[in-house]
Amino acid sequence: MPVSTNANGAKIWQLRNRNQTLARWAAYLAGVAVFMWCWQRISDATTWFFVWDAPRIAADIGGRAWPPRWSYMDKLWGPLWDTLNMATLGTLLALVMAVPVAFLAARNTTPSAVFIRPIALFIIVATRSINSLIWALLLVAVIGPGVFAGLLAIAFRSIGFCAKLLYEAIEEIDHTQVEAITATGASRWQVMAYGIVPQIMPAFAGISVFRWDINIRESTVLGLVGAGGIGLQLQSSLNTLAWPQVTLILIVILAAVVIGEWVSAKVRGAII
Amino acid sequence: MTAVTLESRLGTAWKKPPLISNPALRWGLFIGAAVYLVLAVSSIDVNWARVAEGLSRGWAFITSFFNPDFVSRGTDIRDGILESVIITVASTVVGILISIPIGLGAARNIAPLPVYLVCRAIVALSRALNEIIVAILLVAIFGFGPLAGFLTLSFATIGFLAKLLAEDIEEMDKVQAEAIRATGSTWLQWINYGVQPQVMPRLIGLSMYRLDINFRESAVLGLVGAGGIGATLNTAFDRYEFDTAAAILLIIIVTVMALEYLSGVIRAKVQ
């Protein structure tokens, strides 16, 4: 972009030369073309009549959904307790499984960088890239619907997340402390307990609380696929078009998420 | 010298300091956690007979990972993945474009207070609502199809990117921005030459990361009718076609790995 020109009209300064500008334009053109193609596919698959009708539908649903049916709250305490348990126990179970994976994946603690580290890294990527709803779908098909399937779904989904952050923390530890413990003649396990664990403890606590907060959010919707918790109530209310109940459930979920985030922020503030 | 005097000279042996120094708080937390665990575990009723019955099915699923079936539902898988990719790309682009002005507005050091409050409210709303719940509402309003998924992910992208962009702008080096302002630049030139170069590397990195998240999320939107591979996956699980499900999951895992690798390369290049 020319900032200003001199008396002859020549540019005094410009950010890029001609070829760079052309290359950028070509990249932008390609980007816009890809986006327009995507948009066209979405547009083709959309029934535009419904979209033009959307404001009326939204107003209609909004009118039915308000006021929320507060008396339904009696039936929500049980599912809410289940949701909390899925998130908390799922996080604990995930941490139990994530710690060994993290130690196997960290470059400075892995027993074998060639054979074991790639397996640990694959476990991390595979569990992380599959959404907890898909885990729940799979586990409901395998072990039947219920809170237990949701708990395991939360746990499996969290392994990769916790292990990834934890192994990065292990790789960043101060090596001199480990060396000092080794120099006292400590065994491999003693080095781990006194040289490495105290250094990663704050990171570990922070990661667990952070993941617990995320898991509260995720466990609220697992019931949609039959894995227990408040999502189950949401699903049945949606299926019967009981919009006042849906509003109440959404308010409860929102409150749970906000409280979870507040607790997690407080605890992390206390640790760090 | 006897052993007793040696002991007294050496003093007591070193003990590992406890994690929480206040004993009342330590034991209180410990007992509270124990009580909660007992209550929580006892409130989960597991139908062990059903679990045992399911284990063989679980094993069948694990073995099907070594023998995935890409072919028998080939067209469904291809269409679903293509739709997921389309939703991902479109929603990431639109989400980034909208989150830039909102991110600028949510940065306290460059936005006036009313704009700041409005933008922060949008960010908070977008972050508090789970993608699936937004998708359910949008499907109810706009009907089935990828448009609802596209809108859901765009909305989620705004909350994520605008928040992190605003935090980055709030932490920027003021000296550079002030130098541009001192040249008599307009507001737009100030943003373009004073602020944008400082936050651009991080913005590109975050956009790549969000692309990755959006792809993962688009895989589940189909469960509630918002388009993408999720519907095919759901059908495969419902029909116990584990080999097809394994094929879809493998495609998702490989794509996420490729995206992560790509974003790592791009982030290393821009930083």
| pTM reported for the whole predicted model | 0.80
Nearest to B222 by CA among B238, B241, B242, B206: B238
Q: Give CA angle at A146 (A141, A148), nearest 5°.
A: 90
Give the model's confidence band at A1: pLDDT under 50 very low, under 70 low, under 90 confident, else very high. very low
pLDDT at B93: 92
Find residue B125's DSSP bridge partners.
Answer: none
- Token code pair at residue B16: 């590992």
pLDDT surpassing 70 at residue A4:
no
Chain A residue numbers with beta carbons less than 8 Å from the beta carbon of B139 are: none
What number is the ipTM of this complex?
A: 0.77
pLDDT surpassing 80 at residue A11:
no
pLDDT surpassing 90 at residue A249:
no
pLDDT surpassing 60 at residue A3:
no
Which sequence spans correspond to the domains of chain B?
Answer: 76-270
Interface contact A148, partner B, CB < 8 A: yes
- Token code pair at residue A68: 């929320």
Interface contact A26, partner B, CB < 8 A: no
Please confirm whether the linkage preceding B17 is cis (ω < 30° from 0).
no
Distance of alpha carbon B105 from alpha carbon B118, whole angstroms: 8
Give the model's confidence band at A97: pLDDT under 50 very low, under 70 low, under 90 confident, else very high. very high
Interface contact B233, partner A, CB < 8 A: yes
Interface contact B58, partner A, CB < 8 A: yes
Which sequence spans correspond to the domains of chain A?
Answer: 1-46, 75-271
Task: Closest CB to B86: pick one of A42, A137, A225.
Answer: A42
Among A92, A132, A134, A259, the strongest candidate for a mutation testing the B interface, having the largest count of B CBs within 10 A, is A134
Could you say which DSSP state residue B38 is in? H
Place of tokens 């913005």: B203
Distance of alpha carbon A211 from alpha carbon B218, whole angstroms: 21
Task: Closest CB to A225: pick one of B140, B223, B253.
Answer: B223
Find residue B124's DSSP bridge partners.
Answer: none
Cβ B141–A130 below 8 Å, yes or no?
A: no
Among A49, A77, A142, A200, the strongest candidate for a mutation testing the B interface, having the largest count of B CBs within 10 A, is A142
pLDDT at B2: 58
Contacts of A164 (CB under 8 A, 6+ apart): A102, A105, A124, A128
Chain A residue numbers with beta carbons less than 8 Å from the beta carbon of B256 are: 125, 128-129
Q: DSSP 3-state assignment of A226?
A: coil
A 10 A CB-CB count for B53 gives 13
Residues of chain B with pLDDT under 50: 1
Interface of B with A in 164-203 (CB under 8 A): none
Rounded alpha-carbon distances, angstroms, from residue A21 to A10, A212, B36: 17, 48, 63
Give residue-wise pLDDT tens across range B34-90. 888 888 888 777 777 777 887 887 887 788 878 787 777 788 888 888 889 999 999
Mean pLDDT for the stretch of residues A229-241? 85
Distance of alpha carbon A69 from alpha carbon A245, whole angstroms: 6
pLDDT surpassing 60 at residue A2:
no
Distance of alpha carbon A140 from alpha carbon A163, whole angstroms: 25
Rounded alpha-carbon distances, angstroms, from residue A217 to A26, A89, B237: 42, 14, 24
pLDDT surpassing 50 at residue A189:
yes
Q: Which CATH architecture has domain A75-271?
A: Orthogonal Bundle (1.10)
pLDDT at A77: 85
pLDDT at A134: 85
pLDDT at B241: 81
Q: Which CATH architecture has domain B76-270?
A: Orthogonal Bundle (1.10)
Distance of alpha carbon A107 from alpha carbon A4, whole angstroms: 53
